[in-house]
Amino acid sequence: MDRIEGLRGRLIVSCQALPEEPLHSSFIMGRMALAAREGGAAGIRANTPEDIREIKSMVDLPVIGIIKRNYADSDVYITPTMAEIDELTEAEPEIIAVDATVSGRPGGMSLDDFVAQIRRKYPRQLLMADCSTIEEAVHADRLGFDFIGTTLVGYTEQSAGSRIEADDFYILREILKRVGHRVIAEGNIDTPKKARRVIELGAYSVVVGSAITRPQLITKAFAQELEGKFSN
C-alpha cells in the first residue's frame, strides 16, 4: 500500500493511444510513461495489458489499468466484462478501473453483480470506479470501490453537457462530501492550475491525459488559435 500512498496529492498521467491515433504503440507508450516520470508523475493510467507490461518495464510507478473494448449490446467500453478483468490481472496493474455508470452493460449484467464477481475472483485487486454523475459516485462508494473517479463526467447520456470544472468543480466537491473512499479527479483537467485546484479541494490524486500525452490535440489547440487570429 506504500506505493498507492505515494499517489496522494500527486499527478497520474494517462498514457493512451487508440489504434486510429498516430502514437498507437506499446513501445511509444512506454517511453511516454518514462517522460511522464521524469516530469514528476507519481502514477500512470494505461490501456491494454500490452501497454501496461511495456510501461512497467520502463518505470517503477503504480499503474491504473483499463481495457477499452466495445460490445454491440452496451454503451460501456471501459473494462466492461470479466474477460477484460482477467486479461488485466495478468499484467498486474496496481489498480483496475471499470465503468461504474448506469449505462447498460454487456449481457445486461448489473454493476453490483459485476463488482461482486470481481471481488470473489480477485479479492485483493484494487478497483477504481469511473463515474459520470454524483449519484453514480455515491453508488460506487456503497459498492466498496477503493477509488472513485470523475473520469466520465460529460461523456455519458446521463451526464451530457456536464463539465468537471464547472462552478469551481461543483460535481467533484459534491462527490467529496458524499463518499468515504478516495476520490481521483479525472476528465478535462487540462491546465496545471486546474490540477492544483482539485487537490486543494480534497481529491486524493489527479489524472491528466490528453493535455500531456496527445500531441495531435495539443497541436490542434495552437493551430486553431492562430487560425482565429488571422481570419479576423
Calculate mean pLDDT across residues 184-188: 97
Name the band, by pLDDT with cuts 50, 70 and 90, for residue 15.
Answer: very high
Calculate mean pLDDT across residues 84-113: 97
Instruction: Kindly tell me the number of DSSP H helices and DSSP E strands found in the chain.
Output: 10, 8
Q: Which residues constitute the domain of residue 100?
A: 2-231
Q: Please report how the helices 49-58 and 26-38 are oriented relative to each other, as an axis angle in degrees rounded to 10.
A: 40
Which of 166, 142, 145, 168 lies closest to 154 in space, CA to CA? 166
| Beta carbons of 131 and 140 less than 8 angstroms apart | yes
- Check residue 153 and give its pLDDT: 98
Name the band, by pLDDT with cuts 50, 70 and 90, for residue 142.
Answer: very high
Q: Is the pLDDT of residue 230 over 90?
A: no
- Check residue 231 and give its pLDDT: 57
Calculate mean pLDDT across residues 13-22: 96
- Check residue 172 and give its pLDDT: 98
pTM: 0.95
Q: Is the pLDDT of residue 229 over 80?
A: no
CA dihedral 31, 25, 195, 188 (to 10 degrees): 170
Domain of 144, CATH number, reads 3.20.20.70
- Cα angle 87-132-72, degrees, rounded to a multiple of 5: 50
What type of residue sits at position 157?
A: E
Say how many CA atoms lie within 13 Å of 99 toward its Cβ.
25
Q: Is the pLDDT of residue 214 over 70?
A: yes
CA 107 to chain CA centroid, Å, is 24
- Per the structure, the count of domains in the chain is 1
The span from the CA of 97 to the CA of 93, in Å, is 10
**Mean pLDDT of all residues belonging to the chain:** 96
Calculate mean pLDDT across residues 44-65: 98
- Check residue 3 and give its pLDDT: 87
